[in-house]
Amino acid sequence: MSERTLRNQSRDPLAVEYSAALAGLSVVPIATFFAAFVVGGLTLAGQRSLGSTILGIEIETVLTALLFVAGGCLLAISVGSRYGVIETTPDRSAGLGVASGFGFVAFSGIGLAMSQTFGLGRLVWAPLALIGGLTVAGAIVFAREDLGVTVPAGLFSVAIGSLVLFDGLTPAWAWSPAGFGVTFNGTVLIPLLTIVAGLVTAWAAANAFEGFGAAGRQAGAFFLIGANATLILLVLLLLIAFIVKNGFWYAVDGIEIGPGLNFHWPFVMDGYDVVLNQKGIYPAIIGTFWLVVGALVMAVPIGVGAAVFLTEYAEEGRFTSVIDIATNGLWSTPSVVFGLFGYAFLVPRLGNNTSLLAGMIVLGFMLLPLVLITSREAIKSVPDEYRDASAALGVSKWETIKDVTIPSAMPGIVTGIIIGIGRIAGETAPILIVTADNPQRSSAPAIMGSFELTTSPPFIVNEALLSGSSALPYQLYGAITTGVVGDDPGYGWATAFVLLLVVLSFYVIGITTRIYFRKKLQA
Amino acid sequence: MSNSLRTSDSSDIENPTAGDGRSPVLVAGGATLAGALLSFLFVPGVTVFFVLAFLGVAVYGWFVHQEATAKGLMFLATISTALVLVLITAYLFLRSFPAFEQMGLEILYTNGDYWSRGDDRYSLYPAIWGTVLTTILATLVAAPLGVASAIFISEIAPSWAHEIVKPAVETLAGIPSIVYGFIGFTIINGYMMDNFGLTSSGSIVVVGVVVGLMALPTVASVAEDAISSVPDHMKDGAVAIGATEWQTIKSVTLPASFSGISAAVLLGVGRAVGETMAATVILGNVMQLPEPLYNVFGNTVTLTSLIASQYGNAHGLHMQALFAAGVILFLTVMALSITAQLIEARVKQNLGGEL
């Protein structure tokens, strides 16, 4: 059922048309919220100072103006709605949730002002703040919904605006709560409070936009939930953009192409060598490559095999539930615990030193539950018709599994494996404990060239597999702990950039294949 | 094909009688693999012989009795997942036992003088408290935001927004913890010192928020599964009596998926407890309690960052104390994971029964 039909149902069918005044007044606070978010965000991030200007107006003034405009619009709506100038359909009360929210704000505001600004004792401020908070909450509960939503939100915004306007809160203002060793500065609080007030007024405005009532509450809630989703997107984009901005140019510095097939990318193709003045991460890239290959060799056959057994052969019962608990337990076991396990179990048995092989096995153990869970889901989602059709043709169960079930489940299995690779390629803690030895290596482990046959067991030895190595995430950790980042921050950012590029490309490939196959399945 | 008339299900039943030649192969395979494991545990030098023997048996079985061999191998694969967990438990407990024995209950709580290599005294109290504080903060971030994004993804988002937000949340889970740690170390720590007047690099509140951001995708994806598994007919009832979408979500969908959502939050808490690198890099890892205890702007250590920052120069009882930290982490996370699974199993039973 579409959103629109729902909305119309919930309203009084005779009063569907709301005035343009309401729409106009309630859009303004939403717009000012976005403005406050952008301007305040830039100020918080240190890109602009409160004293600098935008379009010739000081930022402090801009933020104050936004607070007054948003609060004023809400108060106008409340007056208009109360006296019937603006037609709305409010419920009898805004409800306990809204009341306790604003009550808590009033309690904290009064309490902080009394105890910190006026220095009153606990016995004085606590009862006063409690009375203030309860009064606000009670007033909201007993007021009609339109007033209960807009008046406190508008007053909150105007109150903060007045604090800034009348110099109750200036950029130079500072507050150090006793015993915490922290100082809250006006430079941080002004933009922060503006954004918070902006969010509250925008929520109230979204509520008013739909004329309050059930539809209004839905608009308010959807606004908050949508804002949260946007915030998460924004955090992700900013994280990636920040790392690309800081690391990209360092990483691609000095690339030579030609003549002919000659191609040299110093940061990616050189080791770390102080004598040769090379600062590259080639050994770490190769280390991560081999770790991933080793983990795949370990985990994929075991994980897929177990998934097939559990879905196709095992009866649902105690056995499968024990395996379920074990798998999910392995999935949630902290990576550092895997590292400790490898240190106690593998390192003493594999030459008593940190080694690439130990890292492969530990990462394989970490990858195992991921592969198992996703493969099991994939095999389960193969329709039973496929199996029945194959069985009806007289094909044995194993042949069916081999030729029908597993190939049909392949997209799901492969997607799970790809995303699993993305996860283990970025794992640091186990590598740190079982594989790492020297964070700034000049040469990469030569796995392929190190295989040797011997006459005594274990007959095949590989020196490179049994010695330590670096890996991309460890390279970054090593750069932080050995102080390389302090001297040359670009090196750390570039390493983070390459690591992120490697890990996220696995995620992007994995997610894209999944969407592709799902679309294909639906078509 | 010799068994062309068999249906897929009856082949299972016929196995015992038809498979006279197969059982020796299975027994030999199992025995050689058990030998390989045991020898790896006690005499690693001879493991290779057992492995070769196992490979020989497996290859022989594959060509002679393919189905039985495949089934046997897959069974072994299934067992080995549980075995890995058993091995982890065994080795953590074995290695940490002396520390528990020496310190007794003081390893969990003691007054003053927590950590001294000179006196061989190792109490994990500050690290446990640090983990508790960071986990509470992280949960305060991850639980509301994660559940809100789960509601957005499964109930509210139009399809274009769904196609953007769901992969984005997954990608957020993919950013390696060391990258978060690096940003926290280079940018946020300095920012907090400049703008909040902190005197030392690293504070609990920064770790809490960063770890909360990292636990958010776990909460979001598990809660989304729970919310979208609420059957449509339950929601349709609410819609039929004229409820808005939000009223339906608030009074039908969320209460019905409440257990699933709490399982999601528990799993998120588990992620936050076990998060290592971000805490290690951001915190100062000083073995002290914040002053006062609830001072989230103070500097301390967590169980995970204790292990990661000290394992390198630890020996004897010191190392065993680190293993004890691992045991506490492992038990906490396992308890959370098992509780979450029990809740999910019950949800499946309750909601599945009505379908």
Query: pLDDT tens across B27-76, in order?
Result: 888 888 888 888 888 877 778 888 888 888 888 888 888 888 888 889 88
Reported as type and span, the H/E element at residue B302 is: none
**Strands A256-257, A184-185: pairing kind:** unpaired
Of B186, B216, B246, the CB nearest to A217: B246
Please tell me if residue A476 touches chain B, with a CB cutoff of 8 Å: yes
Q: How far is B130 from chain A (nearest CA, A)?
A: 16
ipTM: 0.88
What is the Cα–Cα distance from B226 to B9, expressed in whole angstroms?
33
**How many Cβ pairs within 8 Å bridge chains A and B?**
324
Share of chain A above pLDDT 90, in %: 38
pLDDT band of A59, cuts 50, 70, 90: confident
Assess whether pLDDT exceeds 70 at residue B90.
yes
* Residue of A192, A336, A509 to mutate, interface with B, max B Cβ within 10 Å: A336
Assess whether pLDDT exceeds 90 at residue A135.
yes
> Within a 13 Å sphere around the CA of B329, how many CA atoms are in the beta-carbon half?
37
Check CB contact under 8 Å for B245 and A325: no
Check CB contact under 8 Å for B298 and A218: no
Check CB contact under 8 Å for A397 and B11: yes
Assess whether pLDDT exceeds 60 at residue A12.
no
Please tell me if residue A330 touches chain B, with a CB cutoff of 8 Å: yes
Kindly report, residue by residue over B94-107, the tens digit of the pLDDT: 999 988 888 887 77
What is the Cα–Cα distance from A388 to A386, expressed in whole angstroms?
5
Across A38-42, A310-314, B1-5, B129-133, least confident range: B1-5
Kindly report, residue by residue over A136-156, the tens digit of the pLDDT: 999 999 988 888 899 999 999
The pLDDT score that the predictor gives to residue B2 is 39
Across A6-10, A28-32, A129-133, A158-162, least confident range: A6-10
* Residue of A332, A382, A399, A431 to mutate, interface with B, max B Cβ within 10 Å: A332
The pLDDT score that the predictor gives to residue A234 is 94
Check CB contact under 8 Å for A426 and B276: no
Nearest residue of A to residue B332, measured between CA atoms:
A333
Peptide bond into A458 cis (omega under 30): yes
Of A180, A309, A396, the CB nearest to B297: A180
Q: Which two tokens stand for residue B338?
A: 């098992």
DSSP class of B200: S
Nearest residue of B to residue A298, measured between CA atoms:
B77
What is the Cα–Cα distance from A158 to A148, expressed in whole angstroms?
16
> Inter-axis angle of helices A406-425 and A489-522, to 10 degrees?
160
Q: Angle at Cα A28 formed by Cα A22 and Cα A33, nearest 5°?
A: 135
Assess whether pLDDT exceeds 50 at residue B10.
no
SS3 content of chain A, % helix, strand, coil (to 5): 70, 5, 25
Q: Residue B163: what residue type?
A: E
Estimate to the nearest angstrom the gap between the alpha carbon of A248 and the chain centroid.
22
Kindly report, residue by residue over A413-444, the tens digit of the pLDDT: 988 898 889 889 988 899 999 988 777 777 77
Q: Which two tokens stand for residue A66?
A: 């936004």
Which residues, other chains included, contact B271 with Cβ-Cβ below 8 Å and sequence gap of 6+?
A332, B214, B215, B218
Q: How far apart are the first and last CA of chain A?
A: 23
Residue A116 Ramachandran class (φ > 0 left, ψ -120 to 50 alpha, else beta): alpha
Which residues, other chains included, contact B91 with Cβ-Cβ below 8 Å and sequence gap of 6+?
A341, A344, A345
Q: Which two tokens stand for residue A85?
A: 């100038």
Nearest residue of B to residue A458, measured between CA atoms:
B48
What is the Cα–Cα distance from A291 to A297, expressed in whole angstroms?
10
Check CB contact under 8 Å for A6 and B213: no
Please tell me if residue A234 touches chain B, with a CB cutoff of 8 Å: no
Q: Residue A158: what residue type?
A: V
Of B91, B165, B333, the CB nearest to A341: B91
Q: How far is B264 from chain A (nearest CA, A)?
A: 12
Q: How far is B18 from chain A (nearest CA, A)?
A: 14
Q: Residue A51: what residue type?
A: G
What is the Cα–Cα distance from A309 to A303, expressed in whole angstroms?
10
What is the Cα–Cα distance from B181 to B185, expressed in whole angstroms?
6
Please tell me if residue B147 touches chain A, with a CB cutoff of 8 Å: no
Nearest residue of B to residue A514, measured between CA atoms:
B167
CB B139, CB B268: distance < 8 Å: yes
Partners of residue B40 in chain A, C-beta under 8 Å: 349
Closest CA to B204 of B130, B101, B142: B130
Partners of residue B91 in chain A, C-beta under 8 Å: 341, 344-345
Mean pLDDT taken over chain A = 86
Closest CA to A163 of A193, A204, A199, A136: A193
Q: What is the dihedral of CA B278, A503, A379, A330, to 10 degrees?
A: -30
Assess whether pLDDT exceeds 90 at residue A342.
yes
Query: DSSP readout, B7-70?
Result: -TTHHHHHHHHHTTTHHHHHHHHHHHHHHHHHHHHH-GGGHHHHHHHHHHHHHHHHHHSHHHHH
Partners of residue A231 in chain B, C-beta under 8 Å: 145
Check CB contact under 8 Å for A329 and B6: no
What is the Cα–Cα distance from A425 to B288, expressed in whole angstroms?
33
The pLDDT score that the predictor gives to residue B54 is 85
**Strand locations in A106-242, DSSP E?**
174-175, 184-185
Q: Residue A433: what residue type?
A: I
Q: Which two tokens stand for residue A39?
A: 């301007």
Residue A187, judged by CB atoms within 10 A of its CB (0-12, 13-18, 19+), counts as buried
Domain boundary assignment for chain A: 17-94+143-237, 283-522
Give the three-class secondary structure for A174.
strand
What is the Cα–Cα distance from A143 to A158, expressed in whole angstroms?
20
Contact residues, B window 105-124, toward A, CB-based 8 Å cutoff: none
Check CB contact under 8 Å for A325 and B292: no
Of A182, A187, A330, the CB nearest to B84: A330
Contact residues, A window 130-149, toward B, CB-based 8 Å cutoff: none
What is the Cα–Cα distance from B216 to B172, expressed in whole angstroms?
9
> Within a 13 Å sphere around the CA of B157, how many CA atoms are in the beta-carbon half?
22
Closest CA to A225 of B242, B144, B230: B144
Assess whether pLDDT exceeds 80 at residue A463.
no
**CATH number corresponding to A283-522:** 1.10.3720.10
pLDDT band of B21, cuts 50, 70, 90: low
Closest CA to A499 of B182, B272, B187, B209: B182
* Residue of B245, B297, B299, B329 to mutate, interface with A, max A Cβ within 10 Å: B245
Check CB contact under 8 Å for B330 and A337: yes
Tell me the average pLDDT across A112-131.
85
Q: How many distinct helices (H) and strands (E) make up chain A? A: 20, 10
The pLDDT score that the predictor gives to residue B7 is 39
Of A326, A334, A507, the CB nearest to B329: A334
Please tell me if residue A250 touches chain B, with a CB cutoff of 8 Å: no
Across A211-220, B117-126, B152-161, least confident range: B117-126
Residue A185, strand partner residues: A174
Kindly report, residue by residue over A67-107, the tens digit of the pLDDT: 999 999 999 999 988 888 888 888 888 888 899 999 999 99
Assess whether pLDDT exceeds 70 at residue A9.
no
> Within a 13 Å sphere around the CA of A392, how many CA atoms are in the beta-carbon half?
6
The pLDDT score that the predictor gives to residue B61 is 83
CB A186, CB A171: distance < 8 Å: yes
Check CB contact under 8 Å for B82 and A369: no
CB B310, CB B318: distance < 8 Å: yes
Which range has the top average pLDDT, A117-121, A519-523, B249-253, B283-287? B249-253
* Residue of A428, A472, A481, A491 to mutate, interface with B, max B Cβ within 10 Å: A428
Please tell me if residue A6 touches chain B, with a CB cutoff of 8 Å: yes
Kindly report, residue by residue over A252-306, the tens digit of the pLDDT: 887 888 777 778 888 888 877 777 777 888 888 989 999 999 999 999 999 999 9
Q: Residue A206: what residue type?
A: A
Partners of residue A350 in chain B, C-beta under 8 Å: 44
Domains of chain B in start order, with CATH, are: 10-97 (no CATH), 115-353 (1.10.3720.10)
